[in-house]
Structure 1
Amino acid sequence: MTEATLTAPVPGDAADTAVDAPAARGATGIVHRRGRWIDGWDPEESEQWEASGRTIAKRNLVWSIFAEFLGFVIWQLWSIVAVMLPLAGFALDSSQIFWLISIPSLVGATLRIPYSFLVPIFGGRNWTIISAGLLLIPAIAMAVCVGNPETPFPVLLVVAALAGFGGGNFASSMSNITYFYPQREKGWALGLNAAGGNLGASVAQFVVPIVVTIGAGVAVNLPLAGWIWVPLIVVAMAGAASRMNNISSAKADFSGSAAALREPHLWVLALLYIGTFGSFIGFASVFPKLIADQFPAFSGIAVGTASVSLAFLGALVGSLARPIGGRLADRFGGARVTIGVFAAMAVMTLAVMAVIPTGQFWLFLGCFLLLFAAAGAGNGSTYRMVPVVFALRGDGDAATGGDVSSKRKAAAALGLISAIGAYGGFLIPQALNLSKLGTGSYTGAFLVFVLAYIALLVLTAAVYGRARSDGFRI
């Protein structure tokens, strides 16, 4: 037999384009087939991993991050566009703007559940092409509808809901990368994938105000908020098609998901993830609205002919803090870090409540950025707890990830928990909306958040905070 291709073929290679060419299996066991399918993939096999596996995995990770990044951009696009609609002539009240901000998170969180099963069905490369292509729908639909101030609110709401496609991408992207990396490197690869995606929220909130105001004078060219992402989405589709791979051994684990759903710890960890990731994505989406309401003079800062919103700093700080939370959890234990995170989140939320009446914007911004940092660190620490908890529920060996049953349930739980946690992106804006409608201020909602963080702190300490007899900390 001839030696197998050690790197995935590029378009034009015989191994990728020949219709009936026989597959070649080399010493590493990897076989490349038409359609960029790979047979015999086993990243745990050290010879295969070092010879060609690492290179293939890195290439797939790069394009996965880029596609997921654009998913987050589209998912969070309405967080900044909705706040700018009145400047474009739209007659919307505060509650309607809150709905436009929160509905993408509701849809995106729901889509994460089916998206987590689609990679094994379609193939990781194929589904990345499809899921990236779906982002064209909300991007183009937004560009069209925000160009006409007469667009009815129900139409705006439907178009905003379509942005939920971007939220679903996280689950399929994380599922896909899981198959490419060995157990010892999964944490780092998934951390990069998640952080790269999360940055999309920050980039959207930074880029859109500049693009739609530069050279626009007193008006805003809001359709550009959608159009500017279309070429990048096309690049992501082309890159996925030419550089990514499908792994034939990837299988949908429906029985593992069913077993995970019967595990009480899944629901406890999901609550904790609502408190951490849900707070991050919820506050990230609503931050531009809060600044516009409480500190309108700082909603858009003029820089030449463009306008810059400082709201992007929240999502940026939270995204960068995520891997730090994971590293701290590796050293001190996920439960201990998560307890500290919830304590910090409660304190900083109280600080935000105290600062708002003073009218001190820079103090408000500083307190909120610390809140974002705590929430971002909590994303990493809570997510790190999941495989550890499920390993200890199995054979008790957290260092190896537990037995096969534990690993299957943990993998399924990660997808389900990421979906449940994303509902926080809907709950937080709507809680603030109800508080504003009912009392005329956001104080009531912030107080509820403080009580929720204290309750989650107590829950974490009660269930996971106690040291085990072997000295190992979750």
Structure 2
Amino acid sequence: MAHTSARRDGWLTGWDPEDEDAWHKGGHRVARRNLILSVLSEHVGFSVWTLWSVLVLFMSPEIGLGFSPGEKFLLVATPTIVGSLLRLPYSYAVTRFGGRNWTVFATGILLVPTLLALYFVQRPGTPLWVFLAIGALAGVGGGNFASSMTNITAFYPQRHQGWALGLNAGGGNLGVAAVQLIGLTVISVAGDTHPSYVAAVYLPLIVVVALLSAWKMDNVDAVRAEPGAQREAVRDHDTWWISLLYIGTFGSFIGYGFALGLVLQNEFGASPQEAVSYTFLGPLLGSFSRPLGGWLADRLGGARVTFWNFLGMGVGTVVLIVASKQNSFGTFIAGFIALFILSGLGNGSTYKMIPAVFAKKAEDEVTSGRNASDAFARTRRLSGAVIAIAGAIGALGGAAINLAFKLSYTNGSGSGASAFIAFLTYYVLCMAVLRTVYLRRIPAEDKKDTDPVKEISSV
């Protein structure tokens, strides 16, 4: 976009992705290059963030680390909590230091929890608090999501953001499946007494991605937020409605990604190899379905797609409850895979709602007399802030899922049924919010939507 933007001191200035002429003359190539590297960084970040979902499956008396099921669920919940809390400062950091600069730092710092995991995970007698501390440090990988999404939002025009954000997040989400595939490979080749090999794989990958990011990524001045953007977003009620929905979609994806291996061990007595053999498939398909959710939302409307998605997740949860009572392993796996796919779709469609809802508000402000450039500049600023807030709150949903499983499996029943009932209730709540808040008022981004309840009645 040479005629509308320039590089000054490592920053792209005057960047405007909504300028279609400049976009087609080269802007799309700049955006694509940054998107590819952003996906790589976020992918490694997700892998480190979810590293302990694999390492806990190796922990057994055979290697001197015999922790109880409740302690293991607490361990996998810890990085989830820390990662969610870091998302707000990580998103702000992009606006302060620049997308390229922060990506290099956020990727490089992943070496710390990875090296510590490599050192301690095969030391017999290591107390739980040490692993909890290392797991907390691994939470930095969860922060990468918010900074990456905030950065990529500035590179793409609103008409392509559903696809771009879905691809960016989906590529990052693949890190969950990747680390589990690596765990499966280690178990198959070296046995289930060498968890340190899983951590070792990521050390060179982290270094390579950090160097590539430093070499090829750009900082862009459009991502610099005015002071108080997040405070302004917090005061907007749509921030909280969308965050509630994202707890149900992303919270489910990351929570199930962390917990599924342990659930299979506790529900069906699966071995580490059996657990990892099945746990990678759900996150893999859920990661691929996320861009599809953004694509569908671009065409059908984010609220409409998200509503039908939660309906499907509710059905999938009922399947899990039935499979648990019947002790049907195959049905249980099928139900969980469906939930992963649907949560991925919902992640993409819910995030598409953010720029669309705020674009509609900007249109309303212009109609009422506000300067158009000011209104849409505010929209982009708030969209980035809401992406960070919703991402942080949504990730906390993953921690809630793991804590729900911890309570369910330690209450003496030996079953996750009570946790599944809680998840089903939440999905129904999300459907009610979508119908009442978004589908009923039919914003511009959902102009093709019809009332899904009426559609159900007519089937």
Per the normalisation by structure 2, the TM-score is 0.89
The DSSP-based 3-state class of the residue aligned with 1:38 is: strand
Paired residue for 2:323?
Answer: 355
Paired residue for 2:454?
Answer: none
CA distance in 2, matches of 1:336, 1:33: 43
Q: In the alignment, is the contact (CA less than 8 A) between 1:291 and 1:299 conserved in 2?
A: no
Q: CA deviation at 1:298?
A: 6.0
Greater relative contact order (Cα < 8 A, sep 6+):
2
Which 10-residue stretch deviates more, 207-216 or 149-158?
207-216
Q: Name which of 364, 368, 392 aligns with 1:396.
A: 364
Paired residue for 1:364?
Answer: 332
1:275 is aligned to 2:248? yes
The DSSP-based 3-state class of the residue aligned with 2:344 is: helix
Q: CA deviation at 1:160?
A: 0.7
Q: CA deviation at 1:231?
A: 0.2
Paired residue for 1:128?
Answer: 103
Q: CA deviation at 1:213?
A: 4.7
CA distance in 1, matches of 2:63, 2:46: 24
Q: CA deviation at 1:439?
A: 3.8
When residues 88 and 213 of structure 1 are mapped into structure 2, their CA distance, relative to the original with a 3 A threshold, is farther
When residues 204 and 397 of structure 1 are mapped into structure 2, their CA distance, relative to the original with a 3 A threshold, is farther
CA distance in 2, matches of 1:160, 1:425: 15
Matches within 5 A, 1:333-352: 333-352=301-320
Q: What amino acid is the match of 1:393?
A: K
1:257 is aligned to 2:225? no
Paired residue for 1:207?
Answer: 182
Q: CA deviation at 1:269?
A: 1.2
When residues 255 and 371 of structure 1 are mapped into structure 2, their CA distance, relative to the original with a 3 A threshold, is same
Per the normalisation by structure 1, the TM-score is 0.87
Q: In the alignment, is the contact (CA less than 8 A) between 2:78 and 2:136 conserved in 1?
A: yes
1:53 is aligned to 2:53? no
Q: CA deviation at 1:289?
A: 0.7
Q: In the alignment, is the contact (CA less than 8 A) between 1:110 and 1:419 conserved in 2?
A: yes
CA distance in 2, matches of 1:240, 1:411: 21
Q: CA deviation at 1:330?
A: 2.8
Matches within 5 A, 1:2-41: 28-33=3-8, 36-41=10-15
Q: CA deviation at 1:199?
A: 0.5
Q: CA deviation at 1:317?
A: 1.7
1:409 is aligned to 2:377? no
1:423 is aligned to 2:396? yes
Contiguous gaps of at least 5 residues in structure 1: 1-5, 7-26, 302-306
Paired residue for 1:385?
Answer: 353
1:66 is aligned to 2:40? yes
Q: In the alignment, is the contact (CA less than 8 A) between 1:89 and 1:149 conserved in 2?
A: yes
Q: Which has the larger radius of gyration?
A: 1
> What percentage of aligned pairs have identical amino acids?
40
CA distance in 1, matches of 2:277, 2:106: 29
When residues 229 and 454 of structure 1 are mapped into structure 2, their CA distance, relative to the original with a 3 A threshold, is same
CA distance in 2, matches of 1:469, 1:125: 35
CA distance in 1, matches of 2:70, 2:189: 29
Paired residue for 2:195?
Answer: 222
CA RMSD of aligned residues (A): 2.4
When residues 197 and 228 of structure 1 are mapped into structure 2, their CA distance, relative to the original with a 3 A threshold, is same
In proportion to residue count, which structure has more helix?
2
Q: In the alignment, is the contact (CA less than 8 A) between 1:287 and 1:314 conserved in 2?
A: no
CA distance in 2, matches of 1:196, 1:155: 31
The DSSP-based 3-state class of the residue aligned with 2:223 is: coil
Paired residue for 2:68?
Answer: 93
When residues 45 and 329 of structure 1 are mapped into structure 2, their CA distance, relative to the original with a 3 A threshold, is closer
CA distance in 2, matches of 1:443, 1:44: 49
The DSSP-based 3-state class of the residue aligned with 2:353 is: helix
Q: CA deviation at 1:473?
A: 5.2
Q: CA deviation at 1:421?
A: 0.7
Deviations 1:1-34 (A, max 9, x none): xxxxx8xxxxxxxxxxxxxxxxxxxx62543345
Paired residue for 1:172?
Answer: 147
CA distance in 1, matches of 2:298, 2:222: 30
The DSSP-based 3-state class of the residue aligned with 2:228 is: helix
Paired residue for 1:237?
Answer: 210
Paired residue for 2:158?
Answer: 183
Which 10-residue stretch deviates more, 133-142 or 43-52?
43-52
Q: CA deviation at 1:363?
A: 1.5
Q: In the alignment, is the contact (CA less than 8 A) between 1:212 and 1:224 conserved in 2?
A: no
Q: In the alignment, is the contact (CA less than 8 A) between 1:335 and 1:473 conserved in 2?
A: no
The DSSP-based 3-state class of the residue aligned with 2:7 is: strand
Which 10-residue stretch deviates more, 55-64 or 166-175?
55-64
Paired residue for 2:426?
Answer: 452
Contiguous gaps of at least 5 residues in structure 2: 367-371, 450-459
